[in-house]
Chain A
């Protein structure tokens, strides 16, 4: 059982793969960071565990009840979802959900995530004296990871957050954030070297978070927890800021 602030158990990447010494590229997949489609952290109560089933099958689960995100405004009508957990539950609403992972055999994991709840827009200074209605908050996600061989690992994830319409609100239209990626990695050179290819897509109400990305990486592992990563991102977007390609060099060290 986990009580307090925790990495959101919804989805797979952020709760398990985002640390730089685990993530195989120097950046997170499109839509899986701040302002993206995946919840990041939350404050509440979480129950996690696993169970070995018959025939070598394995099940793991994470169920939670938490404060949920904070819904604000960006501009006059654009909804902005703050998915960083806070001990202050400003809208008084709670969300619940979790993720279940199934391993039909070692090396292959299939996961599904879901969150349900309500949120209330916090319009800030623009909504002084106005009572905002409750609106639905929904998250769905699926993920897969496959260790195809000792040298090749493949994984992918799709996740979507939606905030419902509220006709009586200052911002009546709902919004959708959606992201997916697939990634393959290949180890060689006595497992010291690794190449990575990741393709992803992020959809958001905001232009700077709506883009497609192809990322290539070359990593050198000094030790299993210490690696130098060179990544090249090719981004495609209607937004000039999100359109920029990047070359990243990162030295990551973890436990």
Chain B
């Protein structure tokens, strides 16, 4: 068996410091569009399955986000992190959109991305003449890896599961709230629905990851 030599702790520490310094520098000099791209990537990995590419909602029970962006950033971040149910809607959004890796900085980046879209209203503080929510480029620096952890979710089973859940379940019945059942019951339901909906094994596994991650 080939042994891979380990780097010394000192060298590893220097490398980490260099990466951290580069990350901090990037936060200072990157244009707003570059940071907004993180918000876009996060939105497309965590939110798009239910909210759709335009934010207007991909499935019944999900409201048009354009009608929700008149709230202050702090309230929207809180809703993203803790989950939210629009009054009168049968569907509740799970905490962190069901993505356990999502941080407060990630949520802020997503909101920044949504606000950057054409036609989305500014937060009320800006309308009142007070300072608006900070532009994405001057957001408080995220802990190293915070945003990248969220973006990394793009390639995880969670994101695929969210998409498969949105694409397949509403073919026959009204969408269920992912928080409506405990994990062990979702296990039984997905096993049954794999048979009923003609899902392949990978899709069923991904949907289960999404549903458990949303609880």
Is A21 a contact partner of B90 (Cβ separation < 8 A)? no
**B71-100: which residues lie under 8 A (CB-CB) from chain A?**
86-91
> Which of A52, A62, A187 is close to B203, meaning CB atoms less than 8 Å apart?
A52
Is B198 a contact partner of A221 (Cβ separation < 8 A)? no
**A109-153: which residues lie under 8 A (CB-CB) from chain B?**
109, 145, 147, 150-151
State in angstroms the CA–CA spacing of A82 and B202 once bound together: 38
Chain B residues contacting A16 (CB-CB under 8 Å) are 172, 196
Nearest A residue (CB) for B201:
A49
- Minimum CB–CB distance from A105 to chain B (whole Å) comes to 9
Chain B residues engaging chain A, CB cutoff 8 angstroms: 52, 56-63, 86-91, 166-168, 170-177, 180, 189, 195-200, 202-203
State in angstroms the CA–CA spacing of A223 and B199 once bound together: 25
- Complex A-B: 19 CB contacts under 8 Å: A16-B172, A17-B172, A50-B197, A60-B197, A61-B198, A106-B166, A107-B167, A107-B171, A109-B171, A145-B171, A147-B171, A150-B56, A150-B58, A150-B60, A190-B88, A191-B91, A224-B61, A224-B173, A224-B176
Is A49 a contact partner of B200 (Cβ separation < 8 A)? yes
State in angstroms the CA–CA spacing of A227 and B61 once bound together: 14
Is A255 a contact partner of B189 (Cβ separation < 8 A)? yes
A48 is an interface residue with CB less than 8 A from chain B: yes
Chain B residues contacting A147 (CB-CB under 8 Å) are 170-171
- Minimum CB–CB distance from B210 to chain A (whole Å) comes to 15
- Minimum CB–CB distance from A110 to chain B (whole Å) comes to 12
Is B174 a contact partner of A225 (Cβ separation < 8 A)? yes
Is A221 a contact partner of B200 (Cβ separation < 8 A)? no
**A220-234: which residues lie under 8 A (CB-CB) from chain B?**
221-225, 227
Nearest 8 CB-CB pairs, A to B? A60-B198, A106-B167, A224-B174, A50-B198, A190-B88, A22-B173, A191-B61, A191-B60
Chain A residues engaging chain B, CB cutoff 8 angstroms: 2, 15-17, 21-22, 48-52, 60-62, 101, 106-107, 109, 145, 147, 150-151, 187, 189-192, 221-225, 227, 255
| A192-B90 contact given A16-B172, A221-B174, A225-B174, CB 8 Å threshold | yes
- Minimum CB–CB distance from A53 to chain B (whole Å) comes to 10
Chain A residues contacting B91 (CB-CB under 8 Å) are 191, 224
Nearest B residue (CB) for A100:
B198
Is B176 a contact partner of A225 (Cβ separation < 8 A)? yes
Is A190 a contact partner of B195 (Cβ separation < 8 A)? no
State in angstroms the CA–CA spacing of A21 and B63 once bound together: 23
> Which of B87, B170, B200 is close to A50, meaning CB atoms less than 8 Å apart?
B200
State in angstroms the CA–CA spacing of A2 and B192 once bound together: 11
Chain A residues contacting B176 (CB-CB under 8 Å) are 224-225
State in angstroms the CA–CA spacing of A79 and B167 once bound together: 43
Chain B residues contacting A225 (CB-CB under 8 Å) are 173-174, 176
Is B198 a contact partner of A21 (Cβ separation < 8 A)? no
- Minimum CB–CB distance from B138 to chain A (whole Å) comes to 36
State in angstroms the CA–CA spacing of A191 and B52 once bound together: 16
Is B62 a contact partner of A190 (Cβ separation < 8 A)? no
State in angstroms the CA–CA spacing of A225 and B175 once bound together: 8
Is B198 a contact partner of A101 (Cβ separation < 8 A)? yes
Chain B residues contacting A109 (CB-CB under 8 Å) are 171
Chain B residues contacting A189 (CB-CB under 8 Å) are 88
Is A151 a contact partner of B60 (Cβ separation < 8 A)? yes
- Minimum CB–CB distance from B207 to chain A (whole Å) comes to 12
Nearest A residue (CB) for B195:
A48
State in angstroms the CA–CA spacing of A79 and B131 once bound together: 80
Is B198 a contact partner of A150 (Cβ separation < 8 A)? no
Is A187 a contact partner of B60 (Cβ separation < 8 A)? yes
| A224-B90 contact given A60-B198, A147-B171, CB 8 Å threshold | yes
Chain A residues contacting B171 (CB-CB under 8 Å) are 107, 109, 145, 147
**Besides the contacts A50-B197, A190-B86, what 10 more A-B pairs have beta carbons closer than 8 Å?**
A48-B195, A52-B202, A60-B199, A109-B171, A147-B170, A147-B171, A151-B60, A224-B90, A224-B176, A255-B189
